[in-house]
A and B are shown apart, each in its own frame.
Chain A
Amino acid sequence: MKLKYIELKNYRNFIDTKLHIDEKTLVIGANDIGKTNVLYALRLLLDKSLSEIDLQPQDEDFCIYSGGANEFSITLNFVEAVEECILSSFKELISDTNEVYIRYVATRSKIGGTKDYKLYVGASIEEIQLVSSRFYLRALNMRYVSATRQIDQYLKTQKNKLIEHLQDARTDEEEMSDNQRFEELSTRIKTIENELNTLSFIRKAGESLNTQLRDLSEHHQEQTLKLGVDLPSNDDLFRKVSLLSSIGEHTIQLGGEGRKNQTFIALWSALNQISIQNGQPNEVSIFCIEEPESHLHPHQQRKLAEYLISVLPAQVILTSHSPYIASEFNPSSIIRLHTKQRGPGTICNLNGVSEELGELIRGMEFRLNPLIAEVYFSDCVLLVEGTSEIVFYKNLAHQLDVDMDKLNISILSVEGVGFTRYIDLLNALGISWVMRTDNDYQKYNRPKQVLKEAYYLMGVKRLNKIYSTKCLGKVPVGEQFEDIAKLILEHKDSLTENSSACDTHRNEIYSIFYQSLSNYGLFLAKVGLEEDIYYSNTIVQEAINKFFIPDSEEEEILIIDDMIAAMKSKKSTFMYHFLETNRECLNSLKNDPLAEPLYTCQTIVQQMRVGHYVGV
C-alpha cells in the first residue's frame, strides 16, 4: 500500500494544494513555508500518538488566505492496497482497483466559534462515508520523528525498550543459555562485591561506625553495620545499561550532537522494524523524519540520506534543509514548497513528484552536486554565463546592499550546460529565475541562402526563444508596454540577415528589445560582461586601467592594446583580483543596467513575501 497524494484545502497556509508522493520523497522549502504543516496533516490521520483531543481543530488551522473560510479538509489517497492486514481492516472500503481514500474535514461556525471535525473513508471520493474513528490505525499508520527531537531523553528511554524487545525476541535455547550465563555472572558479581568490601578504607569505615554505635546503644549488639558496595542484580542490572561508545577496548563519551543524532536514527530504525511473515506485514507504516541532517558534517549527511533511503522498509518522507541530502535524492521525488509572486498561500511545484522532472534532471549531462542542489532552496536564481559573472555580481550585490542570502537568492553559472537545461529544471521546481546573457554575434555558413555568410545576434535570439517557450508561468515584474511576440515577429530578419558583426546594429537591436525582455527577467548585455563593465562609466574604467597599469611612472610599462581582451584572458581570476582591491568603484554602477538583474531578483522575492501580494 502506498500513499499517492495528499490534498490540502484551506489548511493552515495551503489554499488548495495536491502533493504527489513517491516511495521515498523529499520535501524542501524555506523555513515557515509549511513543511511541518504537511506532516502534521498526515499525523492527524495517521499518527497513533495523537489522541482524540488533539484531533480537534483550532482557529489557527483554518487558512487565513481564503477570505475566512470556515471549513478545511485533508484528503489522502492510497493505492495498491493489497496487504492482508489492510484488507482485514478496511473491509469493503477498498475499491476494485485497490484504492482507498481517507479524509478529515473540519468545520467551524465562525472565527472563534464552535468547531468540529468528521472523518471519512471510502473506495473513491464519491463513495467515502462517515466513520466514527481512525479505526484503521492498527493496520495503517505513520512513524514520526520531529525536528525538535530530544535526543538525549530518547536515547535514555528507548535503549531499555530495545533491550526488552531483544529479550522477547530470543529463541527458547537463547533464553535458556542466557539464564544459565546470568547465574554464573551473578555469582561472580557477588564475589566482586565481597572483594570490594575488603578494601581497607571501606572496611575501616565500617569498623569505625560500629565502634561509635556500640557506645551509643546496647540494644542491637548482634547487628553490625558496614559500608559496602551493592551491585545490582537481575533486572536492575539492565536498567543500569547505558549506551557506551568505544574505541577498541576503551570506552569514551558517546559523542557530540552529530554522533548522537546518528545513534538516534539507528536506534529508532532498530525499534521500528516491521514484522513480516510470508510476505505479509503486520501493518503498513509510513516513516516521516524531519531534518535528519541535524548536526552532521556534509559527508555524513549524504551517508545518512543513503541509509534512510535504502534501509527503511517502507514509504519514507523526509524534510530537509540540506543540499547534500537533496543531491542524493532521486530528483523526481523532490517536492518543493514555496510561495509565488502575486499570490498568497503555499503551493508546490508541478503538484509534487513527477517523472517529467526526473527526466529533466537525468538529462543533464553531469551529476548533480550540492552546489547545484543549493538552488533547490532558493527563492530566485540569477543565471549567468560564467564564473566571472558570479564573482562580479556577488561583489556588486554586496556593494549595492542587495542582501543575497537574506533574500534566498542564488547565482548560478550555466557554463558548459547552457541556459535552457537549468531553466527547465527551475521551472519544474517552481523556482523563479532571472538571466543575463551576452549580446554576441555568431557567424553562420548558409550555402543554400542568398546571403551565404550571415551574422546572427545569438544573445537576442536566445532570449527570444526562451521567452516564447519557457516563460509561460512567468509574471512580469512591472507593467509590460510592448508585446514581445510582436517585436520578435517584426524584427525576425534583422537578427539573422546581417552581413557583418556591426556594432551599431547591435546597439539598435539592444534598445528595441532590452526594456520588454528585462521586464520578464531576461537581461541582454550591451555587448558582454567585460565590455559592459569597462564602458559603464569613467570611475570604473579608470580603476581597471589603474589595475592593469598601476604605476604609469614605472620604468617598464606593459603595453596593453586591448584592455578588454586582457580582462577576458584572465577570466574570473582577473575579476577576483580586481575586485579584491577595487570594490568601492562598483558603487557607481547603482543605476547602471548591469545592476538591474539584481534589482529584479530582489523585487521578485519581495513580491513573494507573505502580505506583500496585491488582491484576493
Chain B
Amino acid sequence: MLEFEPTDQQKNILAWNGNAVIVAGPGSGKTWTLAKKVQDIMGKCRNYQGVAAISYTNKASKELERRAKLLCNGTKQSFFGTIDSFCIAEIVLPFGKRIMGTPSVQVLVENTQIPSQLELIKSIKKAILTIIEKYSEHTLQQIYDQNISPYNELDLSYRVYLKERFLGGGFDLHLINEIANLIIMSSKTCSNYLKAKYRYVLIDEFQDSGFLQYSLFKRFSELGINSWAVGDFNQSIYSFKSGSPEYMEALISMESFQRFDMNINHRCHPYIQAYAELFLKIQNEEEICLIPEGNSRIIRVSLEGTQSVIGEWINVSLNKIIERTGFKKSLEIAVLARTNESLEMISELLKVPHRIKYKLLLDDDRSIGGNLLRQLLTLTFNPKEHTTKDFVEYYFDTRIRGVRENISSVKKLISKFKDACQDERKECKRVDSVINIVNQIIRSIYPEYELNKFTKEAIKQLVDNSILFENFRPVKNDEIQLLTIHGSKGLEFDIVLHVDLYEDIFPNYLSTGNAIKEQEDVNLHYIALTRAREYVYLISTSIKRIYSKRYGRYYEHPKNPSPYIQGDIKRYQLLLQQAE
C-alpha cells in the first residue's frame, strides 16, 4: 500500500495542522490515513521529537506502527502503544519520581490482588477523581502560576501509601490514568518534557474513552500539542469499561477542535453499507435518505432447532456458500456471535475446519507475568507474528553492559518452554515444569518478581488442555473463524455469518430502559454487519439453548428472531429457503 492514494476527504484531513476530531466510519481507511499523517509529521519533526500514537489495543498499535514504518524512514522519538502504556512509560514512571521519590528498584505496574488493598485503591481512585474534576476548568498555566500542587491535595495517608508502594517497586494499574492526570497538573517538568518531545498526539477509538482519558487528552492540547481524536459513535461498545461517546461529542463542540468525517466505506459492498446505515436510521428513528439498491447482499436464513443446528447447516452449506459467492479462502469467512457460549455450541457440531478462540483464564490476566506468558505463547505457536528477537527487544535494553549473558540464558529458557508446550506426552509434572521455566525467565528480567496464583492457574489450564493452545496458532487458510463481535472489531472478512439473532439478545433483555446499553446493542449489530466485504448471512434459529450456572444445567426456550432483522428492513434481505 505504498502507493496509497488518499481520497479527497482524506486529503483534507491530512492537510489539517490543528486540533481535530475525526469521525471515521467502518472501512474508511482510518489506519492508513493515520499512518500517512504520521509520515507527514515525521517530515516536519526534529530528531528529538515524535508523535504519540495511542490505540485501544496492543494489536492495533502494532499495526499502526507497522504501517507507519512502511511509509517513513524512521519514526524518530514516536510512541506507539495504548493509553496505559503511554501513561506508565512517559508520565508515571519518570515523573512519579519527582513527586514520590526515586525507588532503588525497578517499578512494576500491576493490578493488586489483595482484597483489602482493592478497597483502598477504590477510595484513592475516588479521591483523585474529585481533585481532577475540581481543576478541570483551570488551565495548566493557571495551576502552575498559582503554585498549586494538586497532588498534595490528596489525603496524606493516601500519599504515604502510594509513596511506600512506589519506592518499594510497585504501582497499581488501576490508578494509572488517575495518577497520570495528577502528575501533569502537579509537575511543570513533566509538561515541559511532553511539549518538547511530542508534536502530535493521535488517539484512536476515542468513542470508548472515559473521563480520565478525555481529561488527559485535553491537557495535551492545552500544552500546544496538536491533538487528534479519531472514533466512530456508532461503534461505541465499551460502556462496561467506562467508555462513552459523550467525550467525543464534547470535543466536537469545542471551538479549538475541527471536525472531519470519513464516511466512505471502502471495505463493504455498497449494498451492505447502505443496509447497515438503513438499520441505524430505523433504530434511531431518523429520516431515511438512502436505500440499498441492486441485488441483495444480505441473506436471511431461518433454521429450526438450537444454535447447534447452525453448525450442521454450515457443514452442509459451506460449499454452496463458496460456490454462490465465489470466494475460495475459508479463513475469510467468519461466524460472529454475541457470546462465546454460542460459538462453542456451533463449534461442537462443526465438521469443517474452523478456528474458535477459546475463553482462557489468561485473557483476564493483566499481570506482568500474564503479559509475559502471552508473548511466550505467541512466539511459540505463531513465530511469524512475534519472534524471540521481538521478545528480547521488548524486555531487554541491549545498551546495558552485562545484559548479553542474560539474553542468551533467556533464549535457552525460551527453547525449553517451547519444547515443554509442544510436547504431546501427558506427564503429570508438566504443569510444574512449565511454571518453573516461566518463573526462571521472568526472574532473569525482574529478579524480585513472583508469578501470582492466577497466572499459575492460567498456565495449568493451558497445559492440561493443550487444545487451548490453538488460540495462539495462526489461522489456516481452510479454517473458518468463530469470533465474538467484540473480538472482531477492526477486522474484516469476505463473508460474515451473523448468529445469536434472538429477540432477547439483540437487543439484550438486560438493556431495557437503559439508553446507553440499548445504543450499544444497536452498535454491536452494526459492527457485525460492517465486518463483511461481500455478503452477510443473518442466521436465526427457533430455539435458544442456554446454560444456567445457577442451576448447573442447560435450558432450551423457543425464541423469535431479533427485531433488528424484522419489519421493514426485511424487504432488503434475500430469503434463503431452508432446503437449500
Interface residues of A (CB under 8 A from B): 52, 84-89, 91-92, 94-96, 123, 127, 129, 132-133, 135, 138-139, 277, 280, 282
Q: Which size class do B's interface residues fall under?
A: 20 to 34
CA A129 to CA B77, docked complex, whole Å: 23
A91, B48: Cβ atoms closer than 8 Å: no
Residue B17 is within 8 A (CB to CB) of chain A in the complex: no
Within 8 Å by CB of B49, from A84, A123, A135, lies A84
Within 8 Å by CB of A88, from B49, B102, B190, B399, lies B49
Task: Please give, as numbers and ranges, the residues of chain A lying within 8 Å of B197 by CB-CB distance.
Answer: 84, 87-88
CA A88 to CA B46, docked complex, whole Å: 11
B98's nearest neighbour on chain A, judged by CB, is A92
In chain B, residues 87-107, which have Cβ atoms closer than 8 Å to a Cβ of chain A? 94-95, 97-98, 102
The 7 closest A-B pairs by CB, nearest first: A87-B196, A92-B94, A84-B196, A132-B400, A88-B197, A88-B48, A85-B48
Task: Please give, as numbers and ranges, the residues of chain B lying within 8 Å of A52 by CB-CB distance.
Answer: 401
B193, A91: Cβ atoms closer than 8 Å: yes
B46, A133: Cβ atoms closer than 8 Å: no
Given the known A-B contacts A91-B94, A92-B94, A92-B193, are A127 and B102 also in contact in the complex, defined by CB atoms under 8 Å? yes
Given the known A-B contacts A88-B193, A88-B197, A91-B193, are A132 and B49 also in contact in the complex, defined by CB atoms under 8 Å? no
B400, A133: Cβ atoms closer than 8 Å: yes
In chain B, residues 188-223, which have Cβ atoms closer than 8 Å to a Cβ of chain A? 188-190, 192-193, 195-197
| Least CB distance, A145 to chain B, in whole angstroms | 24
B188, A96: Cβ atoms closer than 8 Å: yes
B190, B192, B401: most-surrounded residue (chain A CB, <10 A): B192
CA A132 to CA B94, docked complex, whole Å: 15
Residue B47 is within 8 A (CB to CB) of chain A in the complex: yes
Beyond contacts A52-B401, A88-B48, A138-B47: 12 other A-B pairs, Cβ-Cβ < 8 A, are A85-B47, A87-B192, A87-B195, A88-B197, A91-B94, A92-B95, A94-B189, A127-B97, A139-B48, A277-B46, A280-B46, A282-B46
CA A338 to CA B507, docked complex, whole Å: 88
Contact string, B53-90, partner A, CB cutoff 8 A, digits 1/0?
Answer: 00000000000000000000000010000000000000
| Least CB distance, A116 to chain B, in whole angstroms | 9
A132, B401: Cβ atoms closer than 8 Å: yes
| Least CB distance, A498 to chain B, in whole angstroms | 68
Residue B397 is within 8 A (CB to CB) of chain A in the complex: yes
Task: Please give, as numbers and ranges, the residues of chain B lying within 8 Å of A127 by CB-CB distance.
Answer: 97, 102
| Least CB distance, B96 to chain A, in whole angstroms | 8
A132, B399: Cβ atoms closer than 8 Å: yes
| Least CB distance, A129 to chain B, in whole angstroms | 6
CA A123 to CA B190, docked complex, whole Å: 13
A132, B397: Cβ atoms closer than 8 Å: yes
A282, B399: Cβ atoms closer than 8 Å: no
A87, A139, A277, A282: most-surrounded residue (chain B CB, <10 A): A87
B188, A92: Cβ atoms closer than 8 Å: no
Task: Please give, as numbers and ranges, the residues of chain A lying within 8 Å of B397 by CB-CB distance.
Answer: 132
B97, B98, B189, B400: most-surrounded residue (chain A CB, <10 A): B189
Given the known A-B contacts A129-B102, A132-B400, A135-B399, are A84 and B97 also in contact in the complex, defined by CB atoms under 8 Å? no
Task: Please give, as numbers and ranges, the residues of chain A lying within 8 Å of B46 by CB-CB distance.
Answer: 84-85, 277, 280, 282
CA A132 to CA B396, docked complex, whole Å: 12
| Least CB distance, B392 to chain A, in whole angstroms | 16
Task: Please give, as numbers and ranges, the residues of chain B lying within 8 Å of A87 by CB-CB distance.
Answer: 192-193, 195-197
A84's nearest neighbour on chain B, judged by CB, is B196
Given the known A-B contacts A92-B97, A132-B399, are A84 and B188 also in contact in the complex, defined by CB atoms under 8 Å? no
Task: Please give, as numbers and ranges, the residues of chain A lying within 8 Å of B188 by CB-CB distance.
Answer: 96
A116's nearest neighbour on chain B, judged by CB, is B401
B197's nearest neighbour on chain A, judged by CB, is A88
CA A85 to CA B77, docked complex, whole Å: 11
Task: Please give, as numbers and ranges, the residues of chain B lying within 8 Å of A84 by CB-CB distance.
Answer: 46, 48-49, 196-197
B48, A138: Cβ atoms closer than 8 Å: yes
A133, B48: Cβ atoms closer than 8 Å: no
B400, A88: Cβ atoms closer than 8 Å: no
Task: Please give, as numbers and ranges, the residues of chain A lying within 8 Å of B189 by CB-CB distance.
Answer: 92, 94-96
Task: Please give, as numbers and ranges, the residues of chain A lying within 8 Å of B94 by CB-CB distance.
Answer: 91-92
CA A139 to CA B46, docked complex, whole Å: 11
CA A5 to CA B205, docked complex, whole Å: 50
Task: Please give, as numbers and ranges, the residues of chain A lying within 8 Å of B47 by CB-CB distance.
Answer: 85, 138, 282
Task: Please give, as numbers and ranges, the residues of chain A lying within 8 Å of B190 by CB-CB distance.
Answer: 92
Task: Please give, as numbers and ranges, the residues of chain A lying within 8 Å of B192 by CB-CB distance.
Answer: 87
Given the known A-B contacts A139-B48, A282-B47, are A88 and B401 also in contact in the complex, defined by CB atoms under 8 Å? no
Task: Please give, as numbers and ranges, the residues of chain B lying within 8 Å of A277 by CB-CB distance.
Answer: 46
Can you sample 27 A-B contacts with CB below 8 Å? A52-B401, A84-B46, A84-B196, A85-B47, A85-B48, A86-B196, A87-B196, A88-B48, A88-B77, A88-B196, A89-B48, A91-B193, A92-B94, A92-B95, A92-B97, A92-B189, A95-B189, A96-B188, A123-B98, A127-B97, A132-B400, A132-B401, A133-B399, A133-B400, A135-B399, A138-B48, A277-B46
| Least CB distance, B199 to chain A, in whole angstroms | 10
| Least CB distance, B307 to chain A, in whole angstroms | 54
Task: Please give, as numbers and ranges, the residues of chain B lying within 8 Å of A96 by CB-CB distance.
Answer: 98, 188-189
Task: Please give, as numbers and ranges, the residues of chain A lying within 8 Å of B97 by CB-CB distance.
Answer: 92, 127
| Least CB distance, B407 to chain A, in whole angstroms | 14
CA A132 to CA B195, docked complex, whole Å: 25
| Least CB distance, B50 to chain A, in whole angstroms | 9
Task: Please give, as numbers and ranges, the residues of chain B lying within 8 Å of A139 by CB-CB distance.
Answer: 48
CA A84 to CA B47, docked complex, whole Å: 11
Task: Please give, as numbers and ranges, the residues of chain B lying within 8 Å of A95 by CB-CB distance.
Answer: 189
Task: Please give, as numbers and ranges, the residues of chain B lying within 8 Å of A132 by CB-CB distance.
Answer: 397, 399-401
| Least CB distance, A98 to chain B, in whole angstroms | 9
Contact string, B325-355, partner A, CB cutoff 8 A, digits 1/0?
Answer: 0000000000000000000000000000000
Task: Please give, as numbers and ranges, the residues of chain A lying within 8 Å of B98 by CB-CB distance.
Answer: 92, 96, 123
Task: Please give, as numbers and ranges, the residues of chain B lying within 8 Å of A91 by CB-CB distance.
Answer: 94-95, 193
B47's nearest neighbour on chain A, judged by CB, is A282
Task: Please give, as numbers and ranges, the residues of chain A lying within 8 Å of B401 by CB-CB distance.
Answer: 52, 132
CA A105 to CA B50, docked complex, whole Å: 33
A123's nearest neighbour on chain B, judged by CB, is B98
Task: Please give, as numbers and ranges, the residues of chain A lying within 8 Å of B400 by CB-CB distance.
Answer: 132-133
CA A87 to CA B223, docked complex, whole Å: 14
CA A96 to CA B188, docked complex, whole Å: 8
| Least CB distance, B75 to chain A, in whole angstroms | 14
In chain B, residues 384-404, which have Cβ atoms closer than 8 Å to a Cβ of chain A? 397, 399-401
CA A135 to CA B48, docked complex, whole Å: 12
| Least CB distance, B143 to chain A, in whole angstroms | 14
B76's nearest neighbour on chain A, judged by CB, is A88
A96's nearest neighbour on chain B, judged by CB, is B189
CA A135 to CA B95, docked complex, whole Å: 18
A52, A92, A95, A132: most-surrounded residue (chain B CB, <10 A): A92
Task: Please give, as numbers and ranges, the residues of chain A lying within 8 Å of B195 by CB-CB distance.
Answer: 87
A126's nearest neighbour on chain B, judged by CB, is B102
CA A127 to CA B104, docked complex, whole Å: 11
A86, A88, A95: most-surrounded residue (chain B CB, <10 A): A88
CA A86 to CA B397, docked complex, whole Å: 21
Task: Please give, as numbers and ranges, the residues of chain A lying within 8 Å of B399 by CB-CB distance.
Answer: 132-133, 135
In chain B, residues 36-56, which have Cβ atoms closer than 8 Å to a Cβ of chain A? 46-49
CA A91 to CA B98, docked complex, whole Å: 11
CA A84 to CA B197, docked complex, whole Å: 7
| Least CB distance, A276 to chain B, in whole angstroms | 10
Task: Please give, as numbers and ranges, the residues of chain B lying within 8 Å of A133 by CB-CB distance.
Answer: 399-400
| Least CB distance, A273 to chain B, in whole angstroms | 16
Task: Please give, as numbers and ranges, the residues of chain A lying within 8 Å of B196 by CB-CB distance.
Answer: 84-88
CA A146 to CA B48, docked complex, whole Å: 29
CA A385 to CA B399, docked complex, whole Å: 64
CA A59 to CA B193, docked complex, whole Å: 40
B101's nearest neighbour on chain A, judged by CB, is A127
B403's nearest neighbour on chain A, judged by CB, is A132
Task: Please give, as numbers and ranges, the residues of chain B lying within 8 Å of A123 by CB-CB distance.
Answer: 98
A94's nearest neighbour on chain B, judged by CB, is B189
| Least CB distance, A327 to chain B, in whole angstroms | 40
Task: Please give, as numbers and ranges, the residues of chain B lying within 8 Å of A92 by CB-CB distance.
Answer: 94-95, 97-98, 189-190, 193
CA A89 to CA B46, docked complex, whole Å: 12
